[in-house]
Every structure is written in structure tokens, then in C-alpha cells.
């Protein structure tokens, strides 16, 4: 009945989203495979920035880097 229909709908949505994820992942891998090193460096720097921002260390780091304020 309704529960079975919702279960089938959820299964179809999950399968579709998995296939889309795989397709875009393969396309992005082909696109960025020649830029692996610069991309890894950029992503690592963005991850450090995000960690400093989330932890609250970013304002303290900015004050250390620019002590004239």
C-alpha cells in the first residue's frame, strides 16, 4: 500500500542519485587528472582555512599575521 509505494520511491531515488554520483565522479576525475598536484595543494589549503575558521583560530591567526591593528 502506501508504505510499499514510498519504499519503492525511496529505492528508485537512491539508485538514481548513486548513478549520477558515479557519472559525475568519473567526469571530474577525467577533467582534473592532469591537475592533480595543484588541486591537492589548493584543497589542502582550503581545508586548513576551514578548520581554522570553524575552530575560532582564524581571528587569532590574522592578528598574529597583522600586528598593526
Question: What stretches of 1-69 show up as alpha helix (H) in DSSP?
Answer: 2-32, 36-55, 58-65
Taking only the tens of pLDDT, the chain with its 69 residues reads 899 999 999 999 999 999 999 999 999 888 888 899 999 999 999 999 999 989 989 888 888 888 875
Q: pTM, whole model, 2 decimals?
A: 0.53
* Separation of alpha carbons 20 and 66, rounded Å: 45
Q: Answer whether 53's CB lies under 8 Å from 61's CB.
A: no
Amino acid at each position: 500500500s502506501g508504505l510499499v509505494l514510498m519504499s519503492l520511491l525511496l529505492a528508485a531515488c537512491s539508485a538514481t542519485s548513486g548513478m549520477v554520483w558515479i557519472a559525475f565522479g568519473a567526469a571530474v576525475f577525467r577533467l582534473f587528472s592532469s591537475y592533480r598536484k595543484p588541486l591537492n595543494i589548493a584543497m589542502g589549503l582550503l581545508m586548513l582555512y576551514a578548520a581554522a575558521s570553524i575552530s575560532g583560530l582564524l581571528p587569532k591567526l590574522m592578528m598574529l599575521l597583522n600586528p598593526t591593528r
